[in-house]
Amino acid sequence: MSLTQKTGAKRRFEARLARSLLKIFTRLPLRRCHQIGSIIGWLAYLMPTKLYRHAIANVRVCLPHLSQKQQGALVRKSIIETGKTLAEAGPLLFWKTDYIEQHINSVEGEDLIRQAMRQRSGVIIAFPHVGAWELLSLFCSRRYPMTTLYRKPRLQELDSIVKQGRERFGARLVQTDASGVRALLEALNRGETIGLLPDQEPPQGCGVFAPFFDVSAYSMTLVSQLARRTGASVVIGYARRLSRGAGYNIYFRMASDDIHDPSTDNSVNALNRDIAQCIREVPEQYQWIYKRFRKRPAGAQPVYT
């Protein structure tokens, strides 16, 4: 068997395994999913994996005021929460609307979206990788006309499952290219909402270096550009995962006025401050395993070694 054939066979096996696990978790109650997810996360924490190395590096540079013991405890909790994120993926992709909403205990700040939509200039809902961001997208897409960017999963065999799952409450998913950005702009001009993950490192040429927890990070300018061009309101949101499978609390915060600053640098700085504030509210549920500081300014020391 050639290398290409072996690679294809491996991907097909991984895709079949992923589909089977998604279906298994879909049949379980949320509490059981989170219990299993905690075990997965705990095992990942105990193993000398890249997940741990990336997480501890991020926490050390972003939260240097914490002691080494506190940083280690935060990383452990964060990786366990990442296990819960994996385990709840099936339910969030397949559960029916009413059943999902039974697990939402409270919603704070949704009136900010309603008030902004009455201005008919569109609303940008930015949800960083805090808590159950997939749930937040479903919640918003059921209530408001929403367009979001969509990048195909690494296992392309899962593309139709993920896309259908995210669109089933009414969301419109568009590609992460120029046509997708035009679709976002058109949605805002119609006075609708768009959803963006603002804490991902953008492609080269689509960002600027801006402080993120006082660390220079290559940060997306898309939110700033769309807000400035359309006058759209910007709302930051996250869904906090409650312990013992008790459900979720959803929070929305109005973004800083400085996001509409004519200076892109000032606008991106403001957005990063708002994201950091959300993370500080529930730091153990942030995706610290993500290599947020992969790109570095010229002459800056690497974060990941």
DSSP 125-136: EE--SBB-HHHH
Residue 41 CA from chain centroid, whole number: 18
Taking each continuous run of H as one helix and of E as one strand, the counts in the chain are 12, 9
Stated length of the chain: 305
pLDDT given for residue 1 in this prediction = 53
pLDDT at 141: 94
- How deeply is 235 buried, as exposed, middle or buried, from its count of CB atoms within 10 A (0-12, 13-18, 19+)? buried
Which residues are CB-neighbours of 171 under 8 A, at least 6 positions away? 137, 138, 141, 146, 147, 148, 195
Q: Are 79 and 289 in contact (CB under 8 A)?
A: yes
Which two tokens mark 118? 């009455």
pLDDT of residue 8: 60
Q: Which residues of the chain have pLDDT under 50?
A: none
Q: pLDDT tens-digit profile of 262-298?
A: 999 999 999 999 999 999 999 999 999 999 999 999 9
For residue 17, what pLDDT is reported?
86
